[in-house]
Amino acid sequence: MTSITLRRHELILLPESARVIIRPFIPSDPNRITTIIGRALALTEEEVECQLASVWKEFDSRHFDIESLLLNHFAKIRSHIFTQRYLSRARELLIGALFSGEYALESAAIFNPSIVPHPDQGGVSEGSLRFIMSLRATGEGHISSIEFRTGMIAGDGGVSLDPVSRFVTVPEILPNPTYDKKRFIIKLAEMGFGEWQEGVGRGKSYAFAVMEQLTDRFTRHDLNARVDVVRRQTRPPTLDLDRTLECIQWLADSNYELRFSEKLAMSERIIFPVSSSESSGIEDARFVQFTEEDGSVMYYATYTAYNGRSILPQLIETEDFLHFRILTLNGSAVQNKGMALFPRRINGRYAMLSRQDDENLFIMFSDSPHYWSDPQVILRPSEMWESVKIGNCGSPIETDEGWLVITHGVGPMRKYCIGAALLDLHDPTRVIGRLREPLLSPVGAEREGYVPNVVYSCGSLLHGRELILPFAVSDRASAVVSVPLDHLIASLKSGE
């Protein structure tokens, strides 16, 4: 490692199996659903009350509002109920419980953190900073989600975390999100539905028929109505029609909005996979506090949606960590993991770091945070510790000396180390310096975990002249170090 002295804070975030949510537990076989329902319908009302009391005794204290969750899951299988007789609320709740199960969000790991200033700095003493840390939580089946923590950086550089709630709550999924027609069409074109005149390929004409009468800003209800019209007008239905409409609905499902109650503590909010594109996980969210030229602030995060077969780079937008918009990223350069947005425009344009080829670090510029193309290489593997591939560890950090980019490198034996590079403030395609030795390497107990020999981060921040760097430990836990900025810049410029 470099000769830079790191301050290791006495913080370690370990997986906690007791933090659970309730998920649907519904068999794929309709006959099994009917059989399970039949067993519940065969009970007397007294037996129902007794069984429900047992469920309540075991699980009620583990969740904020278990009743509404069970009723929601009952609603999911209501169409399979084969009797017309009245069902008591207790019986509906018991049936809901039969099709529910707890899921431990972070039973396997809580790792790959990023950190940003909290939007509310009220009551913070001078020289201190309240922050939000995002973390990738992984549980049964290796399904990843996003958790949050809050804490404080004191004037003396000490880092502390607020107490973590026992409870975890998923947000409300807003039922009628809005879409930008231009961006929607661009993404459809990337999916192979790019000819927007009638008669050019049947599948393409179906997409045209759906989109042509929608307004520049349309809702999911508007889209569903147009899909129904096109489906009714096409007789007989064709495979091209089914494929086109399925892809349009898939794209709409991948763009959605979430809302948390403001009564929830930050650690009680969890972003769990919603769409089919992220059914196997939401991976490695890189949050950044983005300041527009008019001074307005938006928090963005790039993440990787994974469905078990393919990845889809996605974008999160939020102003308050209560209302989140989840959007697909567009453009030919949206191909790989590890996209990280700069915290402001550069020469009037948005800028993004990315990895296009699973080996080098790229930069690209755009007039929109949603569309990316024309990437160019700025860093290639140079030293042995990064000779397999390199990437970023979060959004660049602005300093007087240049853009500080925390990097990761993979070397022999798939060992991940953290490094750094410095880019020109006005022309970030120009590399001013980079570390020849790792800034941080896995040592001692840090080498052991789900994926051994890995240190990794999804974002750090500057507090005064200290870099606050949260990092993952072998894909299992997370820790925090501070780095003296002046020493780091000096090492970058000297090429140590």
Domain ranges of the chain: 7-15+105-172+255-344+371-494, 22-103, 178-253
Average pLDDT, whole number, for the chain?
94
Cβ–Cβ < 8 Å for 432, 495: no
pLDDT of residue 219: 96
Cβ of 452: how many Cβ atoms within 10 Å? 16
Which of the listed CATH numbers 1.20.140.10, 3.40.50.720, 2.115.10.20, 2.60.120.10 matches domain 7-15+105-172+255-344+371-494? 2.115.10.20
Cα 115 to Cα 266: distance, rounded to the nearest angstrom = 13
* Least trusted range by pLDDT, from 150-159, 186-195, 284-293, 437-446: 186-195
- What 3-state DSSP class applies to 388? coil
Nearest to 404 by CA among 358, 349, 468: 468
Q: What is the pLDDT of residue 314?
A: 95
Q: How high is the pLDDT of residue 105?
A: 96
Q: What is each CA distance from 255 to 43, 299, 312, in whole angstroms?
A: 43, 17, 12
Q: What is the pLDDT of residues 63-122, one digit of tens each?
A: 999 999 999 999 999 999 999 899 999 999 999 999 999 999 999 999 999 999 999 999
pLDDT band for 26, please (50, 70, 90 cuts): very high
Give all strands (DSSP E) within 292-394, no chain letters. Answer: 297-306, 311-318, 323-328, 340-341, 350-354, 361-366, 376-379, 389-392
Q: Work out the average pLDDT over 354-377.
A: 95
Query: Which of the listed ranges 138-152, 177-191, 226-240, 299-313 does the model predict with the highest average pLDDT?
Result: 138-152
Determine the pLDDT at residue 3: 80
Amino acid letter at 229?
V
Sheet of 376-379, strand order: 340-341, 350-354, 361-366, 376-379
Average of per-residue pLDDT across 133-137: 98
Which pLDDT band holds residue 191 (cuts at 50, 70, 90)? confident
pLDDT band at 199, cuts 50/70/90? Answer: very low
Task: Pick the range with the lowest mean pLDDT from 90-104, 135-149, 194-208.
Answer: 194-208
Name the strand (E) or helix (H) holding 250. helix 239-253
Round to whole Å and give the CA distance between 461 and 454: 21
Query: How far, in Å, CA of 270 to CA of 282, rounded?
Result: 11
Q: Which residue has the tokens 């080498």?
A: 447
Of 70-74, 99-103, 375-379, 492-496, minimum mean pLDDT range? 492-496
Give me the half-sphere count of Cα atoms (radius 13 Å) on the Cβ side of residue 230: 28
Residue 196 has pLDDT above 60, yes or no: no
The answer to whether 271 and 259 have CB atoms below 8 angstroms apart is: no
pLDDT of 202 above 70: no
Q: Strand pairing partners for 467?
A: 462, 483
Answer yes or no: are the C-beta atoms of 227 and 248 closer than 8 Å: yes
What per-residue confidence (pLDDT) applies to 197?
47
**Helices 239-253 + 220-233 axis angle, to 10:** 180
**CA Rg value for the chain:** 25
Hey, is 51 helix, strand or coil?
helix
Residue 32 has pLDDT above 70, yes or no: yes
Inter-axis angle of helices 181-190 and 202-211, to 10 degrees? 170
pLDDT category of residue 311 using cuts at 50, 70 and 90: confident
What tokens appear for 165 in the block?
Answer: 């709630």
Average pLDDT over residues 412-435: 98
Is the pLDDT reported for residue 1 higher than 70? no
Largest Cα–Cα separation, the chain? 80
pLDDT higher at 290 or 239: 290
Percent of the chain with pLDDT over 70: 97
**What is d(CA 394, CA 115) in angstroms, rounded to the nearest whole number?**
9
Q: Which pLDDT value is given to residue 477? A: 97
Using 50, 70 and 90 to split pLDDT, how confident is the model at 200?
very low
pTM of the model: 0.93
